[in-house]
Structures are given as structure tokens and as C-alpha cells.
A and B are shown apart, each in its own frame.
Chain A
């Protein structure tokens, strides 16, 4: 039973399109995150949600909008996709903070 799942695993789209990535966790955690791993392999936090409320927004362009319909889901919607958005996006969850995080398998986004 997958703890943190993401869909889709691969996403190829053209510049200017709008796309969404979905994330679900079945661990009962109250905190969820989105990370971006760029071409240099840096893993950088984008957003953090605690109990469906946005806690961290790390100077991410406002074309990126996270949405948490409930504590088990944190979706990422991206408007007007740009070439520089090509990366692997990871969702993660944790029980509170200062504890281990559980990561999803990643979504590789390619913008052409």
C-alpha cells in the first residue's frame, strides 16, 4: 500500500499550458510539502501545508498554486508553464514537523 502517491509520474507539455499534479498520503499525517528537484539535483522546498493551511511559500512564482482539499491531499497547479519549470516535483508528508518525511515517487515534468 503506497504511503505517498503522486499522479502523473511523467508529464510532457508545451509552454503556456496549465497542468496539475496530484498528491495523496494515507499515513494520517497533518503536514504536506511540495519540493522541486532541478537539473542540478538540488531538492528545494516550494510549499508546506499544515492541517490544510499554507505555512511555507518559498518565493515560488504565483503561477504555482497549491491546493489542499483535505489533510490527505495536496495538489499542485501550474499556470502558463515555462521551459524553466521542467524538473522533478516531489510531494512529501510528515507527522508534525521536526520528524522524518515520507516522499512520493516524483513527477517528472518536461516543458517543450
Chain B
């Protein structure tokens, strides 16, 4: 029973274009959302987060959008760079717990 899904296992994008990674969740009570990037043989590293009181958060080339009614989260990377090639995980959190639930990951490949 996967509470957090990333339906695209992989995505290829040309350098300089926009990468859009999507994430769907099932529980409307989740109130904090994060994106992590993971290179091979390394641990995930934090990218950007958003709380449920917002619908958009930007940090440089990275923007996270939250659509609470659709229970949908997306990460936009503009412009995409070859160094962005990695696996991206979304994660959700419910206040009052210590539990983060991760999505299944999307492998992004940015083509030079």
C-alpha cells in the first residue's frame, strides 16, 4: 500500500530545458513535503521543501509546487543541467509523528 507514488520511474530532458518531476500522495493530513536528490553510491541529499500552508516554494533553479486538493506535488528544475542527473525522491511528513514516507523515485537524465 504505497502512500506516496512517483509514477514516472525515469525522465530524460535536454540540457537547458525544464524538468518536471511529479509525486502523488493519498493522505490529505500530510503537512510537510520534501524533495531529495540521490547520486549512485551516496545517500539522499535534501533539495527543497514546502509546508501545507503554501502552494509554491522557490530556491534558485528549483521550485516545488503543492496542489493540496489534488494531493499532488511537483518539482520544477529550470534550466536543467547535466549535473542534475540523479534519482529524485519526494517525501511526506505528518506533524505529530516522526515518520517520513518516501516515494519510489524518478531517475532524471539531463542530456548535454
Contact = CB atoms under 8 A, between A and B. Distances in A.
Interface residues of B, number: 23
Contacts of A98: 31-32, 93, 95
B49 A100 contact: yes
Contacts of B34: 100-101
A68 B95 CA distance: 24
Nearest to B107: A41
Interface stretch (B20-28, B40-48, B63-71, B72-80): B40-48
A41 B87 contact: yes
A25 B43 CA distance: 14
Contacts of B93: 97-98
A112 B43 CA distance: 24
Given A43-B89, A98-B93, A103 B98 contact: no
Contact of A105 (B43, B49, B89, B100): B43
Interface in A1-59: 4, 31, 33, 35, 40-45, 48, 50, 55-56, 58
The A contact surface, by secondary structure, is strand
B104 A41 contact: yes
A59 to B, nearest CB: 12
Nearest to A49: B98
A12 to B, nearest CB: 16
A41 B98 contact: no
Interface of A: 4, 31, 33, 35, 40-45, 48, 50, 55-56, 58, 90, 92, 97-98, 100-106
Interface of B: 31-32, 34, 36, 41-46, 49, 87, 89, 93, 95, 97-102, 104-105
